[in-house]
Amino acid sequence: GNDSTAGLVDPLTPVPTKSHERSKSQISKDLQLVRESLPIWGFQDEIRSTVRNSDTMVLIGETGSGKSTQIGQFLLDQPWMLRKVAGGGRKYGGCIAITQPRRVAAISLAQRVSNEMGTSLGKEVGYCVRFDNVSDQNTRIRYITDGMLLNEILHDGELSRYSAVVVDEAHERSVSTDLGLGLLKGIVETRRKKGVPLKLIVMSATLDVEKMAGFIGGDPIPDAKSEELPVAPICRIPGKMHPVEVYYTPTTLDNFQTAAVKTIFQIHYQYPCPGDILVFDTGSEEIEDLASTVEELALQMEADKPKMNVVRLYASLDPAEQQKVFVKGDPKVRKVIVATNIAETSITVPGVRHVIDCGKVKMKRFRHQLGIESLLVTDISQASAQQRKGRAGREAPGTCYRLYPEACFKKFEKETEPEILHCDLAGALLTLKARGVDDIFNFPFLDKPSRQSFEKALLTLHMLDALDDAGNITEIGKKMSKFPLPPVQSRVIVAAGEEEKLNKDTEEDVLVDVIDVLSCLSVEGNIILQSGRWNKVADDPKKQDPLLPSKKKKRKHNEEDSDEDMTAEERVHTKRMEIVHSSGDHLTYLNILRRYLSKRTNEQKQFCREYQVSYPLMRKVENIRKQLRGYCRLDKVGELPRDSDMKYESETMVARYPRVSQEQTERILRCFLKGVGVGNVARKVAGGKYRTLTASGNAAGGVDVVVHPSSCLMWERSSGSESKKAKKEGSSGGLEKRDEGFGEAVMYQDVVWTSKAFMKCVSKIKLEWVADMYAGP
Ligand code: ADP
């Protein structure tokens, strides 16, 4: 190994072996027994010696073999982990970073490992995900999303706090993983030259191992003639797989949701417990639908049948909710886990004997023709299908039901295409430019994106003023890259900071408001619950909401349409007309957040119930808001009130401005327009329809787009009681009446492409704002 050549041991660093032993004595025996039963346990010596002798390693092992939870613990007491001092007196190392593509995995792993080590979360073992850092300077094992690692590289190009970086789930090939791998290759080289090596370990369940080992490269051979590196050493953990029987459907199905429900009950009646069922579905909404259908039907089962416990598993779920999948329940109750492909390799669910695979996945796809990125449901790859199947055979022989014919399976792509080949590269390129990578075309990509997508992204960044005409990063671009937000959103913050400097004496603070709106946009999901959901809440007797009428009443209403007997929807609608802002979604979000924050903590839940706003999401919004303000302060983007003033500030804001003024509305919306640009503006055309301003693809005059039903601009239309609506609108200021031209066009944050192109998060604007934007100062 080359670790003995480097500097001195920092006397301030706690000796790692000691702290490790101390915590070890606290580990409960059970957890230790579980650790020892993991397939990886017997390979710890091999792993330690490989890493000791080489700066890089590829570690391959089945999902659940113990890679993510054990690797840090195996390496913690190694001599090369000690903090070292390099030539200039700078300190290096002491901590291991383990990257995860998903924030939930990072959080859940940190929790698990701190339990195993008997320490409290955030101390020796911690995590760092976007908008949430639970770790401190003394943290030694740090689970971190690959996006946050990129952010760290921006602040410290040598990743000096780490002795090792473990890139986990490398087969997922997220954009951030790919960028991280390319950058880490360079950092390993720099640190090696300085005599303070950084260990790089790439881990995966399924992977083109040779390709990866060749890409990261091993240690240079002394006196070798060529500069080319040998391949990195590979360590394989053999899996213990039980046979899994596979069934296909005879024909292609129209509705795999129904088929999944049938299959669940078939299995339940046919096979005895224990033996849980894992269903792979596409997204959170589909999962909620499927799960509640199964729950309803399970209530109608004969009493002699075993009970069913339905568990949901998707990324935007609360970590506490997620922890439920690991809880060992009653062996006489059958657990049915309905999950996204998060359960494919990221999270190992114990107890599964039966897998139901819908054969689909929701994936981000960039449509060059339209210039938009959207989530699309696509076929999975054969590699994915095999991984899903494997989930059934971890503990005993199992079965896998594929809800598609065998012929379809054969037509699936062999491997899942890496995200970098089909996403919008703008964010990725800005990341690289800000980290000093000028020659983007020659950056070491594991798979290189097409020239066309590079060019499109460069153009986008140029339009956002992040790059100058020569393609160099601008001051605006540098500021933008510091925010963990997509370029379209970070541009808005920077614009708000500029605007604020120009209008120092206005009482209403643009930056504060813009951060508030962005915080609402940054949670995974809509803070405003959609009408389908309220009925579901009301139908569940356990979650019966006193504000919502029972099922029976609703039916009665449908038949007779009586006016006194308001339906749940009408009631919520009336409430919502109090908070809606006539300009659209951006300002409505601001209204909601301001009112929410002006309530006392114990009243916030009630507020959410009344207006059918998601309380868990609002908690997240609060947190994101705090973090974004922190980033702004750090980078001196505008002046912000202190955190301790936040509560007071929103109270006074609501008292002073129950409605956001028209001037302020315009200021805020102009900032957002700078972000989305002319590409996300649509003009009103005959018949109340909208058409995009810019030509895209072969649609020279723009494409037709419609407002998504979730937008508050649709609320008025969905209302049954016209008179009430008119009254409410009168009190909301009636922007349109007072102001010519407002509403002749709309801008939107997102497009979802299903039967039509739907605009999401939409606000009315004036066309002249678009012209102003390109007129220059
Ligand atoms: P790999 O990285 O090889 O897929 P992991 O280290 O993630 O394997 O998982 C090892 C074992 O630890 C699995 O059986 C898994 O179910 C269990 N495990 C992982 N995370 C948690 C958690 N948060 N709570 C309880 N058990 C967990």
Report the Cα 76 to chain-centroid distance in Å. 29
For the ranges 413-427, 621-635, 696-710, 713-727, the lowest mean pLDDT is seen at 713-727
Provide the pLDDT for residue 583. 92
Which atom of ligand 1 is the closest one to the Cα of 203? 2
Ligand 1 pocket residue status of 74, Cβ below 6 Å: no
Provide the pLDDT for residue 532. 47
User: Strands of 398-402's sheet, edge to edge?
Assistant: 244-248, 398-402, 352-357, 276-280, 334-339, 308-313
Residue of minimum CA distance from atom 16 in ligand 1: 348
> By the 8 A CB rule, do 198 and 188 touch?
yes
Provide the pLDDT for residue 499. 85
Determine the distance separating the centroid of ligand 1 and the alpha carbon of 110, expressed in angstroms: 11
Provide the pLDDT for residue 26. 55
Ligand 1 pocket residue status of 112, Cβ below 6 Å: yes
Ligand 1 pocket residue status of 114, Cβ below 6 Å: no
Q: What would the 3-class secondary structure string for 668-727 be?
A: HHHHHHHHHCHHHEEEEEHHHEEEECCCECCECCCCEEEECCCCHHHHHHHCCCHHHHHH
Whole-model pTM over 0.80: no
Residue 705 has pLDDT above 70, yes or no: yes
Cα–Cα distance for residue pair 383/376, rounded to 1 Å: 19
Percent of all residues in the chain with a pLDDT value above 70, rounded to a whole number: 82
pLDDT band with cut points at 50, 70 and 90 for residue 405: very high
Which atom of ligand 1 is the closest one to the Cα of 65? 3
Cα–Cα distance for residue pair 242/245, rounded to 1 Å: 10
Ligand 1 pocket residue status of 326, Cβ below 6 Å: yes
Structure tokens at 174: 């997220």
Residue 11 has pLDDT above 90, yes or no: no
> By the 8 A CB rule, do 170 and 184 touch?
no
Provide the pLDDT for residue 726. 41
Kindly state the average pLDDT of the residues 637-655: 65
Cα–Cα distance for residue pair 227/523, rounded to 1 Å: 46
Provide the pLDDT for residue 529. 81
Cα–Cα distance for residue pair 376/417, rounded to 1 Å: 14
Where do the H-state alpha helices sit in 381-486? 382-390, 406-411, 426-434, 451-463, 475-481
Ligand 1 pocket residue status of 42, Cβ below 6 Å: no
pLDDT tens track for 587-628? 999 999 988 988 888 889 999 988 888 888 898 898 888 888
Residue 719: CB atoms within 10 Å: 18
Structure tokens at 745: 């066009």
Which atom of ligand 1 is the closest one to the Cα of 70? 6
Ligand 1 pocket residue status of 145, Cβ below 6 Å: no
> By the 8 A CB rule, do 165 and 172 touch?
no
Provide the pLDDT for residue 717. 52
Residue of minimum CA distance from atom 15 in ligand 1: 348
pLDDT tens track for 660-680? 788 889 999 999 999 988 888
Determine the distance separating the centroid of ligand 1 and the alpha carbon of 227, expressed in angstroms: 40
For the ranges 15-24, 188-197, 617-626, the lowest mean pLDDT is seen at 15-24
Residue of minimum CA distance from atom 25 in ligand 1: 326
Cα–Cα distance for residue pair 643/630, rounded to 1 Å: 9
Identify each DSSP E strand in 448-563 by its residue range: none
Ligand 1 pocket residue status of 63, Cβ below 6 Å: yes
Which atom of ligand 1 is the closest one to the Cα of 349? 16
Determine the distance separating the centroid of ligand 1 and the alpha carbon of 117, expressed in angstroms: 14
Provide the pLDDT for residue 733. 40
Residue 8: CB atoms within 10 Å: 10
Cα–Cα distance for residue pair 272/398, rounded to 1 Å: 13
> By the 8 A CB rule, do 313 and 322 touch?
yes
Determine the distance separating the centroid of ligand 1 and the alpha carbon of 147, expressed in angstroms: 22
pLDDT band with cut points at 50, 70 and 90 for residue 526: confident
Residue to probe by mutation, ligand 1, list 348, 349, 391, 395, most atoms within 8 Å of CB: 348
Residue 370 has pLDDT above 90, yes or no: no
pLDDT band with cut points at 50, 70 and 90 for residue 735: very low
Determine the distance separating the centroid of ligand 1 and the alpha carbon of 93, expressed in angstroms: 26
Provide the pLDDT for residue 656. 65
- What does each C-alpha distance from 588 to 136, 350, 531, 680 come to in angstroms? 37, 43, 17, 19
Ligand 1 pocket residue status of 78, Cβ below 6 Å: no
Residue of minimum CA distance from atom 13 in ligand 1: 64
Residue 108 has pLDDT above 70, yes or no: yes
Cα–Cα distance for residue pair 105/557, rounded to 1 Å: 45
Cα–Cα distance for residue pair 605/583, rounded to 1 Å: 27
Which residue type does 158 have?
Answer: E
Determine the distance separating the centroid of ligand 1 and the alpha carbon of 282, expressed in angstroms: 23
Report the Cα 727 to chain-centroid distance in Å. 40
For the ranges 55-69, 89-103, 318-332, 642-656, the lowest mean pLDDT is seen at 642-656
Determine the distance separating the centroid of ligand 1 and the alpha carbon of 348, expressed in angstroms: 6
Ligand 1 pocket residue status of 322, Cβ below 6 Å: no
Residue 307 has pLDDT above 70, yes or no: yes
Determine the distance separating the centroid of ligand 1 and the alpha carbon of 350, expressed in angstroms: 9
Cα–Cα distance for residue pair 627/633, rounded to 1 Å: 10
Higher pLDDT, 418 or 777: 418
Cα–Cα distance for residue pair 507/655, rounded to 1 Å: 14
For the ranges 297-311, 398-412, 496-510, the lowest mean pLDDT is seen at 496-510
Residue 746 has pLDDT above 80, yes or no: yes
Higher pLDDT, 310 or 562: 310
Mean pLDDT of the chain: 82
Report the Cα 371 to chain-centroid distance in Å. 22
Which atom of ligand 1 is the closest one to the Cα of 69? 6
Which atom of ligand 1 is the closest one to the Cα of 347? 7
Determine the distance separating the centroid of ligand 1 and the alpha carbon of 269, expressed in angstroms: 30
Kindly state the average pLDDT of the residues 423-443: 88
Ligand 1 pocket residue status of 719, Cβ below 6 Å: no
Higher pLDDT, 642 or 561: 642
Residue of minimum CA distance from atom 14 in ligand 1: 64
Determine the distance separating the centroid of ligand 1 and the alpha carbon of 347, expressed in angstroms: 7
CA quadruple 427, 467, 132, 32: dihedral positive or negative?
A: positive
Kindly state the average pLDDT of the residues 355-371: 77
Residue to probe by mutation, ligand 1, list 30, 67, 112, 391, most atoms within 8 Å of CB: 112
Ligand 1 pocket residue status of 68, Cβ below 6 Å: yes
Kindly state the average pLDDT of the residues 109-127: 94
Ligand 1 pocket residue status of 69, Cβ below 6 Å: yes
ipTM above 0.90, yes or no: yes
- What does each C-alpha distance from 457 to 273, 315, 359, 453 come to in angstroms? 53, 27, 31, 6
Cα–Cα distance for residue pair 106/101, rounded to 1 Å: 8
Peptide bond into 405 cis (omega under 30): no
Structure tokens at 679: 């590409």
Main-chain phi, psi angles of 183, to 5 degrees: -70, -40
Determine the distance separating the centroid of ligand 1 and the alpha carbon of 124, expressed in angstroms: 19
Report the Cα 532 to chain-centroid distance in Å. 24
Which atom of ligand 1 is the closest one to the Cα of 350? 16
Q: Which of 96-100, 256-260, 734-738, 764-768 tops mean pLDDT?
A: 96-100
Determine the distance separating the centroid of ligand 1 and the alpha carbon of 653, expressed in angstroms: 47
Residue with tokens 């113990």: 66
Determine the distance separating the centroid of ligand 1 and the alpha carbon of 18, expressed in angstroms: 26
Residue of minimum CA distance from atom 10 in ligand 1: 66
Ligand 1 pocket residue status of 111, Cβ below 6 Å: yes
Determine the distance separating the centroid of ligand 1 and the alpha carbon of 30, expressed in angstroms: 14
